[in-house]
Amino acid sequence: MTFARLLGWLLLLVWLSWSFAFQARLASASSGGPFVPEIGLVLALAVLSRLDEREVPLLALLVALARLPYSGESVVALLAGALGLCLLGLAMRSVVELTGPLWRTVATALLVAVFDLWLAVVHSARPSGAAAGLPVGLGSLLAVAFSSSMLALFAGPALAHLPGLTPLRSRRW
């Protein structure tokens, strides 16, 4: 791995951490918590659409590590969710072009909803959360999926071109 790619991965970790921190701050400071988009996941999906397939596990690891300080879930749950998100994103990328506005929007809404549903299922599987059921309702899942898809629609290409991420883009269309 060249120095430029290593620096690109390090900067992606920084951008992901900042985006998850900003998302957590927005969610805690406002009453519209469910409408706060999954900024880090949108960034990860924007990078995934231009990333080489062999580097997807590293992307999943960075997403899980960046989200860990701002989530109440375990490392294993976040890593499994991030890896599932990336693998589903790869599967979608093999069928449709994720850099196009329509498919980027639809894919982001679907993948964010699946990721948040995964975390809700993991949370409800804990002994302390089993009695309460799923901690997230259908309305809040739809709200975060919609807000994230709108962020992907309008800012997805800009997120993929954040400073330092150029060495990670290997798919040229």
- Give 173's pLDDT tier (boundaries 50, 70, 90): very low
Give the number of other CB atoms < 10 A from CB of residue 33: 13
Condensed to tens digits (0 to 9), the pLDDT of residues 127-167 reads 665 555 556 678 888 999 999 999 999 999 999 899 999 99
Give the number of other CB atoms < 10 A from CB of residue 90: 15
Residue 53 pLDDT exceeds 80: yes
> What distance in Å separates the CA atoms of residue 58 and residue 54, rounded to the nearest whole number?
9
Condensed to tens digits (0 to 9), the pLDDT of residues 18-28 reads 999 999 999 88
Torsion sign, CA atoms 133, 138, 139, 144: positive
Sequence-ordered alpha helix ranges (H) in the chain = 3-29, 39-48, 56-67, 75-95, 101-125, 127-130, 138-160
Q: What is the pTM of this model?
A: 0.91
Residue 81 near residue 119 (C-beta atoms within 8 A): yes
